[in-house]
Amino acid sequence: MLYLGEEEVRALLRWDELIPAMESALVEFSLGRVVQPVRNMLTVEEEKRYFGMMPAVARDAMGAKLVSFYPGNEGTGIATHHAMILLFRPDTGEPLAVMDGRLITEMRTAAVSAAVTKHLAAPDARVLALLGSGVQARAHLQALSKVRSFDEIRVWSRTAAHVDRFAEKNNARAMPIADAVHGADVVVTATNALQPILDGEWLKPGAHVNAVGAPRPNWRELDDRAMANILVVDSRAAALEESGDVILSRAEIYAEAGEIFAGIKEISSLETTVFKSVGLAIEDIATAKLVYDRFVVSHP
């Protein structure tokens, strides 16, 4: 059975292929063509250590991700997320590959946000605000730049040294949080916040928010005013079980991302929108299948 480590995955994965692959996977999910339970997340130590199991079966891919989420690792030099993905043939059940899932988790999360941003953000969006300066902030900058041309990149983080380093490496401007959000066309929240950091009053009309942090039912990044805008999620069932932003605000979910991609639901780019991402197993499995297929082609 094939094993692919992180660097081998990195060499095979491309944003230009991954973003449309995430669109297709989420359309299949929202059309009911994916068998997938809500993730089973075990709490090992509250606010510090979690372990998740994420299986999914689609028409052309089957597998599972095992993921550790250790927010207590922040600042230690050890990543907060580690994962392994097991890929099987859906027709025969035969195992195909095991691959490192840390980079897949990083890239598929940002690719999904990019796909949603392509559909919901203003076509002339020019200002991007990144709240957070870690792995997801960097990945989102790369992915979102594939769907919009940003003239200005703003970044805020609770850790001054981290934000200054990120700004220098990525030609961004480090700013106070409210200043970063005011006037921004696209906003990304990618933090381990436990309480809201984004005030909805800061958002300009027509802004689009990708909220990918606070992955627990009692954690939040966005306040009630932000969540009162048009809300899109990757999965209704998962968001209502896992997302503190959705659960605690009691916000109404307008659509799943797959419904937007399939044209079942429509939203004007003039509307202020929030995409709350919790991350789905089908995103990981579809990405792993993309990596596997590219490996097979490049190793005849």
The dihedral sign for the CA sequence 137, 138, 140, 146: positive
The dihedral sign for the CA sequence 55, 21, 101, 60: positive
Whole-number mean pLDDT of the chain?
96
Strand locations in 15-159, DSSP E? Answer: 40-45, 49-57, 62-69, 81-88, 95-100, 127-131, 152-156
Taking the domains of the chain in order of start, what are their residue ranges? 2-104+281-298, 119-276
Determine whether 65 is exposed, middle or buried from the number of CB atoms within 10 Å of its CB (0-12, 13-18, 19+). buried
Greater confidence, 139 or 71? 139
For 17-49, the pLDDT digits (tens) are 999 999 999 999 999 999 999 999 999 999 899
Closest to 186 measured CA to CA, from 123, 236, 239, 231:
123
Q: How confident is the model at residue 75 (pLDDT cuts 50, 70, 90)?
A: confident
Contact 52, 39 (CB under 8 A): yes
Fold category of 2-104+281-298 in CATH: ornithine cyclodeaminase, domain 1 (3.30.1780)
For 234-245, the pLDDT digits (tens) are 999 999 999 999
pLDDT of residue 260 exceeding 90, the answer is: yes
Average pLDDT on 201-214 reads: 97
Rounded CA separation 5/169 (Å) = 26
**pLDDT over 70 percentage in the chain:** 100
Closest to 125 measured CA to CA, from 273, 4, 14:
273
For 167-199, the pLDDT digits (tens) are 999 999 999 999 999 999 999 999 989 999 999
pLDDT at 184: 98
pLDDT at 159: 85
Q: How confident is the model at residue 227 (pLDDT cuts 50, 70, 90)?
A: very high
Q: What dotted CATH number matches 119-276?
A: 3.40.50.720
pLDDT at 160: 84
pLDDT at 8: 97
